[in-house]
A and B are shown apart, each in its own frame.
Chain A
């Protein structure tokens, strides 16, 4: 093969390659379904058709610039259709391919270019902001009111009912235990006032004759009636208006006949206004009565 033939073959190969390349490019741009057709659709306001064409085109393997332009027109088409999120996605692709790209003023209206810039700013802001501010929650209660009857506690579920019952029980117990206004019968004491004999050998002997005693009454209800007895023989009766001590003299308390000593039981019996409510109330003093050598 001479040089001329070789050159012819090389040229044929180049032409073939050029034709193939041209065909490919024609299919992406000028041919039906290509970018040019999509642009035409966009410029005539057929945004929906343009969007469909561009989406089909973007599925193919495209040069970077073609892909950029296809996404740009797709973004504007979606914007015109009001599909904000789709427009944003397409714009994001444009900026990914060419971060500093700006739409050609000769090709796009100021309105669209402004929208692109604004969307670029939003996308960039959204991508770079990591701020998550935490605000405090707030709340407000309505005024306190009476609980609805269907939720209100029944009377037997209220604690104060039982507190009152318990207080009544405690009070009644206190009254019963403490006696309240219950009656106490009188009590009596009897003490000799006359001094015993001075005989050191008989310190508890009393001289025969008058012996004075003092009766003391407590409790019961005045007035009182005091009866004085000598060996169960009534000697005299006295009336006492109150509980003041009552002094009484047995007039003649005898010793034993023949000068010896004799034991006496001097007694006072008390009856109050209630007659002691049937109780026997007495007090006594046992004395030995003698003829002392050394009277008091």
Chain B
């Protein structure tokens, strides 16, 4: 008298398990794709004299695009938006002749799976008493994100009197 109903009831749990498994697989693949489509981007890339620890992020100190060879250092500051997965950032500095002067080690941005709206990074080269002081002219610093150029900044290094 209930045979047809019993059969449906017995099949339904199996269907639920199949649906759950399929859905979980889809959700996992979509989860990965969501990370990929997040538009992580460079909001700010500039040179400054140094950086300081702000309330939440690094902050540039005395931004400028002209520095003297008698100054201590030049700092490249960069700010990213929409950070959701691990990344690696590297700075490369080029002298006025376009030759690679130096490059930083890779800075790892490690997360715990959560979303962060901003990331700030900085790298400096020393000037006074260093090889860079002998290369006045227009320099370039390029920021790489996971091996791809994310941004670049030009700055001028001048001798002391013009600094």
* Count of interface residues, chain B, beta-carbon cutoff 8 Å: 69
A137-B31 in contact (CB<8A): no
B129-A125 in contact (CB<8A): yes
CA distance A235 to B153 in the complex (A): 110
B13-A169 in contact (CB<8A): yes
A144-B114 in contact (CB<8A): yes
Residue of B with least CB distance to A173 = B13
| Interface residue? B132 (CB, 8 A) | yes
A132-B132 in contact (CB<8A): yes
CB < 8 Å neighbour of B20 from A82, A119, A134, A166:
A166
B118-A156 in contact (CB<8A): no
Residue of B with least CB distance to A131 = B130
Chain B neighbourhood of A143, CB < 8 A: 56, 116
The bracket for how many chain A residues form the interface is 35 or more
Given the interface pairs A137-B104, A141-B109, A145-B117, the reply to whether A118 lies near B160 with Cβ below 8 Å is: yes
Residue of B23, B82, B118 with highest tally of chain A CB at under 10 A: B23
B14-A140 in contact (CB<8A): no
CA distance A146 to B82 in the complex (A): 11
B126-A163 in contact (CB<8A): no
B102-A132 in contact (CB<8A): yes
Chain A neighbourhood of B107, CB < 8 A: 137-139
Chain A to chain B contacts (Cβ below 8 Å), 24 pairs: A79-B161, A82-B161, A85-B136, A125-B133, A135-B104, A135-B126, A137-B90, A137-B105, A137-B121, A139-B89, A139-B107, A142-B57, A142-B119, A144-B112, A144-B114, A151-B84, A153-B34, A156-B27, A159-B28, A159-B31, A162-B23, A167-B20, A176-B10, A176-B13
Ranked nearest first, the 3 interchain pairs of A and B with the lowest CB-CB distance are: A126-B134, A169-B16, A166-B20
